[in-house]
Structure 1
Amino acid sequence: MTSRPAPSPRPRLPAWAGRNFQLLTASALISGLGNSGVTIASAFAVLQAGGSGTDIGLVAAARTLPLVVFLLIGGALADRLPRHRVMVGANLLNAASQAAFAALVLSGSGAVWQMAALSAVGGTAQAFFYPANEGMVMATVEREHAGRAFTVYRMGVNGANIGGAGLAGGLIAAFGPGWVLALDAASFALAALLRAFLRIGDLPRPERGGGLLRDLRDGWREFASRRWLWTIVVQFSVVNAVTAASLAVYGPLVADAHLGGAGPWGIALAASGLGTVAGGFLMLRWRPRRILLAGTLCIFPQVVPLVALAAAAPAWLVIAVMLAEGVAMEVFGVTWMLALHQEIPEDKLSRVVAYDILGSVSLVPVGTALAGPAADAFGVSYALLGCAGLTVLLTGAVLFVPEVRGLTRTKAPRAVPQPTLNAPSGGSGDGTAAVS
């Protein structure tokens, strides 16, 4: 009698990738997979309802405006309360807003102002999620594994963005944007469930007294005292605005007119995501000593896709340059987060990140709202070339800052609190964590 071959052993995760890291990464993968197609779905939902490029920009701006308004409050609360609980609440609010958006689109009765209102609810949720999310990876692993865990986490999320953008383009082409929005709502709900099971030990908290205003003042002092930090944030206030206008408004318009619609544009966005994964592999092997100089130089390739869209290049070329752009942007992303974790005290991290995000997205509503009128006035091609020129000009200016050129990598990340699997999930024990 022939013996059956023994089953191959199940692959084991590294010892450092414990329960908390697995839950955090799985929830990020799920929500990233659903959320990566929202920009495409929202744009084509507006076009399906008879809207224009200006209407697309207004809906995109409606998502970003409350993000700007509530970010600082979100950062202060994330340093006061258990961060993973704040993330769960934000995910549930996102799930509700996206479900309502999907129902509106699927019913065929949605007006642009209703889409904008629901986008604003989603933006409010993100204002509380982003500062709380910062630092969570570093709280789920021991110090010596933090860099490896951070890279693996980013690569997983970027991989989800690849699949999500490509899937969104295909689903929109086959079934319409409403189903993509419905899947996004489901992904937020599932991510909230997974994050509810996180058990993170107490993180450093600010000293008691002074309330939210004192917290925000302390965070501002930390932010403003570092020239490398605020100059790059000022740079990205414009770079992100023109990039958002290009990807949320001009990209769909060019795709609809020259590339073949949502399908090729979804593949192009997925190619950018694939580039970020390749950039992650690169950063596993490349450890630049002057981290901000390396990251800032990698902003210049971001203009190449804008020029390709302006020239109405064929879809294969747009996809290729989006792939290269993704590699470069991941290098910046890794070096930027390394700089933040290396230089900012843990108990002030969420507030500093809130100021970072606030500055970085403050002009995005303006950029997306003006994208349509700019295209009407100058044409889509000239508007895209203007976006590319601003990116090159500001990135070059940042390189004149000595701290940007000179900030170097330390031998190990700054120490972070270690996870306590059996610790209560709350803050200081009384339900009101000490006054990040």
Structure 2
Amino acid sequence: MAPAMFLPYRPVLGQPVLRRLLPGLATSALGDGLALVAVTWLALQLAPAGQRGTWTAFAVAAYTLPGAAGTVLLGRWLGGRSGAQLAGWDATVRAAALGAIPVAHLAGVLDAGLYVALLAVSSLLHPWGSAGRFTLVAELLPQRHHLAANALLGVFGQAATIVGPPLAGVLIAWTGAVWVIALDAASFAVLAVSYGLVVPAVRHEREARHDDTTRHERHEDGPAGPSRISGFRIIWRDRSLLGLLALTVGFFFLFGPFYVAMPVHVTEDMHASAATLAAYYTAFGVGSLLGGLLTGHLRGRPLRTMLAAVVALFGAALLPLGLGAPVVLSLPAFALAGLAWAPYGPTATALFQRRAGTADLPRVLSANGAVTVLAVPLGTMLGGPATAAFGARPTLLACAVAILVLGLVAAVSAARPRPCARPTKRTGPARPYDQPVRSRVPDDRVRPGAL
């Protein structure tokens, strides 16, 4: 059973460059898992009395949101870089900024303001780093293996959400939160070195794929290279990418209120302890890990239909919480929600990899990340007044129903026949597996205007 589970991932593990990167990716994922607890805990320790909630919110926002600004401000300089370069620079910035936190602590100058500022710097290139990681997948692997590769990269993060928080709790009690942040910085330093070591190999791999036929096609079409169009404009011009972005933003936004309503529901409606809340999150993490491993087996399914099914199933799995079901029913349902959540990111990324040429893919994925990173915080901000006005359980129920409806609407859209149109011209260099749409086998065919 276990060997069959990992069968779709063998081609990914067999790719020499990706195989050399996996230890660094796993290490940095564990660092991020530790940071889930350490970032907020250190903010609580540094915040002035009576301002803990405010500074904790600032720290959480600073660790994610500045990347949206980095996408807009740095696009002119970063848009044409290779996937390995982008991911390596992101890891380097994160290692340096996070590493400055324990240094400032040793110097006796670390306060809440400096802490939040360093967290903000650390996240400035994050959308570009994520885009670079998945661009590297598109550069090195045939399209039929993109979904499995995306899922494998996601599995590291899902496993880290299970292992990282309890390990962080032990380490914080032993050494202090600032040194757990130092471990997170060290994990990104390992990742930065890993990317730096494979950049020459990636360049060689890309050059080796440019055979005589590819060179002839590039000569006929004119010079190949990245366009200077921003990722936002590329998405706006492509109905399929615009629809995918709208679905993702809606999905994430509607899930955002759960971060507020869920703890309130557990404590006030269920009269349960923090251990119960932790059990829900652990169940979600276990479900998402299993879902991530299963995602590679979904290759060959229509990706648009898969995304709609994921959203609808996720909404349905959250209904027991909103309906006030007992823990014995709502806990496994929340695990099912985690299982449904896991395939969404790899599948959505696979669609972006199909629609955008490899030269434009970093811009497109970074723009997508800049928008979607705002969706959950905005939903969380809505969750506060909604929970106060209507109560935690009605808020959970409303979000679950809205997500379910969103998935059903997306399913209807996916089932609607689309007229065939001439494929859009790609701006990136051609690859043997990146041929125009008309030459692909039927399973890989993508129509313009399709999600």
TM range (shorter): 0.7 to 0.9
| 1:29 equivalent in structure 2 | 26
**How big is each residue's C-alpha offset from its partner over 1:90-134, in whole Å with a ceiling of 9 and x where there is no partner?**
112212333345677899997654443333223213133122222
Aligned in 2, Cα 1:140/1:24: closer, same or farther, shift over 3 Å? farther
| 2:70 equivalent in structure 1 | 70
- Please report the TM-score for the alignment, with normalisation by the length of structure 1: 0.72
Q: Which amino acid aligns with 2:235?
A: F
Question: Once superposed, what is the RMSD of the aligned Cα atoms?
Answer: 4.4
| 1:299 equivalent in structure 2 | 311
Aligned in 2, Cα 1:238/1:120: closer, same or farther, shift over 3 Å? farther
CA contact (8 A) 1:223 1:230 kept: yes
CA contact (8 A) 1:290 1:405 kept: no
RCO comparison, higher one (Cα < 8 Å, 6+) = 1
Find the partner of 1:20 among 13, 17, 22.
17
Structure 1 unaligned regions, length at least 5: 1-12, 409-413, 420-436
| 2:350 equivalent in structure 1 | 338
Q: Which amino acid aligns with 2:80?
A: R
CA contact (8 A) 1:155 1:280 kept: yes
Cα distance between partner residues in 2 of 1:100 and 1:312: 46
C-alpha displacement of 1:200: 0.6
Establish whether residue 118 from structure 1 lines up as the match of residue 156 from structure 2.
no
Q: Which amino acid aligns with 1:351?
A: R
Q: Secondary structure of 1:215's match?
A: coil
State how many pairs are aligned.
Answer: 397
Matches of residues 95-244 of structure 1 in structure 2 within 5 Å?
95-101=95-101, 113-141=113-141, 148-171=148-171, 177-198=177-198, 199-201=201-203, 202=206, 214-216=228-230, 219-244=231-256
C-alpha displacement of 1:299: 1.4
Matches of residues 398-413 of structure 1 in structure 2 within 5 Å?
398-402=410-414
**How big is each residue's C-alpha offset from its partner over 1:154-211, in whole Å with a ceiling of 9 and x where there is no partner?**
4344334432244335545776644443322221111111111112124899988999
| 1:388 equivalent in structure 2 | 400
Q: Which amino acid aligns with 1:24?
A: L
Q: Secondary structure of 1:124's match?
A: coil
Q: Secondary structure of 1:121's match?
A: helix
| 2:289 equivalent in structure 1 | 277
- Please report the TM-score for the alignment, with normalisation by the length of structure 2: 0.70
CA contact (8 A) 2:27 2:191 kept: yes
Cα distance between partner residues in 2 of 1:252 and 1:114: 30
| 1:38 equivalent in structure 2 | 35
CA contact (8 A) 2:151 2:343 kept: no
- Between 251-260 and 135-144, report the one with greater CA deviation: 251-260
CA contact (8 A) 1:31 1:191 kept: yes
Q: Secondary structure of 2:125's match?
A: helix
C-alpha displacement of 1:355: 2.7
Aligned in 2, Cα 1:200/1:231: closer, same or farther, shift over 3 Å? same
Structure 2 unaligned regions, length at least 5: 1-9, 211-217, 421-427, 434-451
C-alpha displacement of 1:378: 4.9
CA contact (8 A) 2:12 2:148 kept: no
CA contact (8 A) 2:224 2:429 kept: no
C-alpha displacement of 1:350: 1.5
CA contact (8 A) 1:54 1:370 kept: no
